[in-house]
A and B are shown apart, each in its own frame.
Chain A
Amino acid sequence: MIIDANTLSDSTNHVYDYCILGGGVAGITLANELLASGKRVCIVEGGDETFTMESQNLYSPAVQPTEYEDPTYDRLRFLGGSSNHWENSTSEFRPSDFKTKDWIAHSGWPISFDEVKPFYSRAALYCGTGSDGYKTTHWSKHFGKSDIFESSQKINANIVKAAIPPVHFFSKYGVPLKESQNVTIFKNANLVDLSFNAQSLTVESIDFFNYSGVKHTVAADTFILCLGGIENARYMLIFNEKYKDALGNKSKNVGHYFMDHPVLRAAKLYPKKKEDFALFTMREQIDKRFINGFIEMNESTLSQEEISNIRVPLFEESNFVISEGIESFHVLGSAIEQETIPDYFGQHMINVLGDIDMVAEAVSRKTFSSKLFDYADDFGGYDLAIMIEQTPKYDNKVFLSDEVDKLGLKKIKIEWTLHDDDISRMWKALDVMAKEIGRLNVGRLKVMKEYEERLRSEKLFFSHHHMGTTRMADNVQSGVVDKNLKVFNTSNLYIAGSSVFPTGSHVPPTLTITALTIKLAEHLLTEAIV
């Protein structure tokens, strides 16, 4: 059943076996996995069934991050969470993603790929991408597109799948929860407090407020935080302020190691024959799914070259679109309007002059609505939007400010930067890729190292994948949750979602979030039987 907390007038106590805090991808998946057990499950969700400004505004930070994006709208605070606006791109993590890499500090998961692998197939069903896997050999054969990197020891083709339309988790999986007798969804129910018994190491209850300030208490055997990569950290910090870091924060790891998948437009690929790259530009549809390829580094290359992985989808661009000159022309134009001189003025001028025909084409199209040069629409090359794996860094963090929101909870601040070592690893990876593409004689890569300074400004894009803030580890010195996602020093508090990722791989996280959540459900039910 679903209960609107705003309709509850009196304070009441509720009792459940499992209390899931947050109704996004992890929360909805977990509730579905626990559904058949007959256990009493509740979901406490701060938002409604659709978007409301009242709820969304609670995501606003105390101050806007200087180098990171505004976290108010890059996630959604209502049932279904950020699955309500995701692109639905899914790929499996690679075995190497779970291993410790000597050249990357704080890398390595306390679980292996083989422990997650059995759950990927079921996770893919949740994500709407089917149980037929992500194997490149299968899909290249299926669509009759050759994999030009099949023999390469340096780079690979990998597969991305997405459901059409993207799966909104609550819309798709909320019905059985609403109809179930053993599941209760409290919507408009904002988590505000938690009671922890330091003797028994047990979380005994949580409190939530509706938007009128009426408080309700939920007691449960087990509590699972599923609030997303930023809010999981925020609430853990709030609770740890109250309980003097007793909840998995003895080593002050909560909120730290905050990661995203930065996307850097730093290279272009000029193919010898476009057909060679058909696997990467096919955008094939099958059974309401979109399937495509992308280029990544071979796993052995990562250790040989001591680099991180990169995800390189290919986007066919015309001479007009791929033009650096037009982009620089706009930058210069905006600067003139604002009577300022833009950063990298010289580089922009060179771009404009070097690409003056396409700039003239752009002016003509805009001013006279007519084309000057027919070849402007010809294929100009592939623009590479390179998604990189970000190194976990202690100084990239979500932390509490002194400013409070409408519920009286401290707002967050974010300190995030793209570190030099990540950029240099990307250059190294592109260097390997350029040589391999050259060796195979399928094209040439243009690696725009002159963009180095601009990679932290106009050439930097975010993936809105918030990871690492309550990281999984073998011990409390290195993390916040153990390999079963239980918060260290507690007996019944768990965390699900990408905040538990110690490292973030180079592919979108949702499939792995879902797989880990299914694994958690299995663990919880096994533990209950024991």
Chain B
Amino acid sequence: MKNDQQVNRMRRALCLGSLLISTSGAAFTSAAKQSNALPKQAKNLDYYQFYLAWQQLSSLSPQEYINRRQYEHSGLKSSEIVKLDFEHQNVVEIESFILSKYEAAFIAHIGSFT
């Protein structure tokens, strides 16, 4: 009986310990995105989510899409292509954000490096 109690106590401690470690790890990672404590790659974790979402949206890779749009609109600045996208309803919904497809491709492109 005493042994069982000890085992249960250890199990609880182990569960609590792993929860604390994972929670503080996640908190640290999340906080680090806002600071300069971590290298650039680690800050791109959210971008990676965009990259995953992009893959569901388009058969082209983000880079291929960006290249194609830049070719189509040569002479226009990126901000002007984004404006065109919004004007012509060429938007996508990623992570609940309503974004121009061109800017979404840029974010996904950054995410593709992580």
B31 at the interface (CB under 8 A from A): yes
B23 at the interface (CB under 8 A from A): yes
The one of B24, B27, B98 in contact with A434, judged by C-beta atoms closer than 8 angstroms, is B98
Q: How far is the CB of B27 from chain A (nearest CB, A)?
A: 4
Q: How far is the CB of A356 from chain B (nearest CB, A)?
A: 4
A375 at the interface (CB under 8 A from B): yes
* Of A50-58, A247-255, A404-412, A443-451, the one touching chain B: A443-451
Q: For the complex, what is the distance from the CA of A239 to the CA of B45, rounded to whole Å?
A: 66
Q: For the complex, what is the distance from the CA of A375 to the CA of B30, rounded to whole Å?
A: 12
The one of B27, B85, B100 in contact with A360, judged by C-beta atoms closer than 8 angstroms, is B27
- The answer to whether A448 touches B96, judged by C-beta atoms less than 8 angstroms apart, is yes
B106 at the interface (CB under 8 A from A): no
The one of A356, A372, A431, A450 in contact with B26, judged by C-beta atoms closer than 8 angstroms, is A356
- The answer to whether A447 touches B27, judged by C-beta atoms less than 8 angstroms apart, is no
A441 at the interface (CB under 8 A from B): yes
Q: Give the number of residues in B that approach A within 8 Å (Cβ atoms).
A: 23
- The answer to whether B96 touches A446, judged by C-beta atoms less than 8 angstroms apart, is yes
Q: For the complex, what is the distance from the CA of A353 to the CA of B86, rounded to whole Å?
A: 32
Q: For the complex, what is the distance from the CA of A444 to the CA of B89, rounded to whole Å?
A: 14
- Identify the interface centre among B24, B27, B93, B100: most chain A CB within 10 Å of its CB: B27
B59 at the interface (CB under 8 A from A): no
The one of B34, B89, B95 in contact with A435, judged by C-beta atoms closer than 8 angstroms, is B89
- The answer to whether B23 touches A360, judged by C-beta atoms less than 8 angstroms apart, is yes
Residues of the B chain whose Cβ atoms lie less than 8 Å from the Cβ of A448: 96
Residues of the B chain whose Cβ atoms lie less than 8 Å from the Cβ of A431: 98
- The answer to whether B26 touches A353, judged by C-beta atoms less than 8 angstroms apart, is yes
Using known A-B contacts A434-B98, A435-B98, determine if residue A357 contacts B83 with beta carbons closer than 8 Å: no
Residues of the A chain whose Cβ atoms lie less than 8 Å from the Cβ of B99: 438, 444
Contact code string B70-106 (vs A, CB < 8 Å = 1, else 0): 0000000001001101110101010111111000000
A73 at the interface (CB under 8 A from B): no
- The answer to whether B86 touches A436, judged by C-beta atoms less than 8 angstroms apart, is yes
The one of A355, A441, A444, A446 in contact with B30, judged by C-beta atoms closer than 8 angstroms, is A355
Sorting the interface of chain A by its residue count into under 10, 10 to 19, 20 to 34 or 35 or more gives: 20 to 34
Using known A-B contacts A356-B26, A373-B31, A373-B34, determine if residue A441 contacts B98 with beta carbons closer than 8 Å: no
Q: For the complex, what is the distance from the CA of A357 to the CA of B85, rounded to whole Å?
A: 34
Residues of the A chain whose Cβ atoms lie less than 8 Å from the Cβ of B85: 438
Q: For the complex, what is the distance from the CA of A375 to the CA of B27, rounded to whole Å?
A: 13
Kindly identify, within residues 418 to 457 of chain A, every residue whose CB is under 8 Å from any CB belonging to chain B.
431, 434-436, 438-439, 441, 444-450
Q: How far is the CB of B18 from chain A (nearest CB, A)?
A: 15
Total A-B Cβ pairs within 8 A: 59
Q: How far is the CB of B17 from chain A (nearest CB, A)?
A: 16
Q: How far is the CB of B26 from chain A (nearest CB, A)?
A: 4
Using known A-B contacts A435-B91, A441-B79, A448-B96, determine if residue A357 contacts B86 with beta carbons closer than 8 Å: no
Residues of the B chain whose Cβ atoms lie less than 8 Å from the Cβ of A435: 86, 89, 91, 98
Residues of the A chain whose Cβ atoms lie less than 8 Å from the Cβ of B98: 431, 434-435, 438, 444-447
Residues of the B chain whose Cβ atoms lie less than 8 Å from the Cβ of A436: 86
Q: For the complex, what is the distance from the CA of A360 to the CA of B27, rounded to whole Å?
A: 7
Q: For the complex, what is the distance from the CA of A450 to the CA of B94, rounded to whole Å?
A: 12
- The answer to whether A449 touches B23, judged by C-beta atoms less than 8 angstroms apart, is no
- Identify the interface centre among A355, A439, A448: most chain B CB within 10 Å of its CB: A439
Residues of the A chain whose Cβ atoms lie less than 8 Å from the Cβ of B79: 441
Q: For the complex, what is the distance from the CA of A355 to the CA of B83, rounded to whole Å?
A: 31
Kindly identify, within residues 38 to 63 of chain A, every residue whose CB is under 8 Å from any CB belonging to chain B.
none
Using known A-B contacts A356-B23, A356-B26, A438-B91, determine if residue A446 contacts B86 with beta carbons closer than 8 Å: no
Q: How far is the CB of B103 from chain A (nearest CB, A)?
A: 9
Using known A-B contacts A435-B91, A438-B82, A441-B79, determine if residue A450 contacts B96 with beta carbons closer than 8 Å: yes
Kindly identify, within residues 375 to 419 of chain A, every residue whose CB is under 8 Å from any CB belonging to chain B.
375
Q: For the complex, what is the distance from the CA of A527 to the CA of B53, rounded to whole Å?
A: 67
- The answer to whether A356 touches B27, judged by C-beta atoms less than 8 angstroms apart, is yes
Closest A-B pairs by Cβ, 5 of them: A434-B98, A439-B86, A357-B30, A438-B86, A360-B27
Binding site for A on B (CB under 8 A): 23-24, 26-27, 30-31, 34-35, 79, 82-83, 85-87, 89, 91, 93, 95-100
A-B contacts, 14 of them at CB < 8 A, read A353-B26, A356-B26, A357-B31, A373-B34, A375-B34, A431-B98, A434-B98, A435-B91, A445-B97, A446-B95, A446-B98, A447-B96, A449-B93, A449-B96
- Taking A357-B31, A360-B23, A373-B31 as known contacts, 19 extra A-B pairs with beta carbons closer than 8 A to each other, sorted by chain A number, are A356-B23, A356-B30, A357-B26, A357-B34, A375-B31, A375-B34, A375-B35, A434-B98, A435-B86, A435-B91, A435-B98, A436-B86, A438-B98, A439-B86, A441-B82, A444-B98, A446-B96, A447-B93, A449-B93
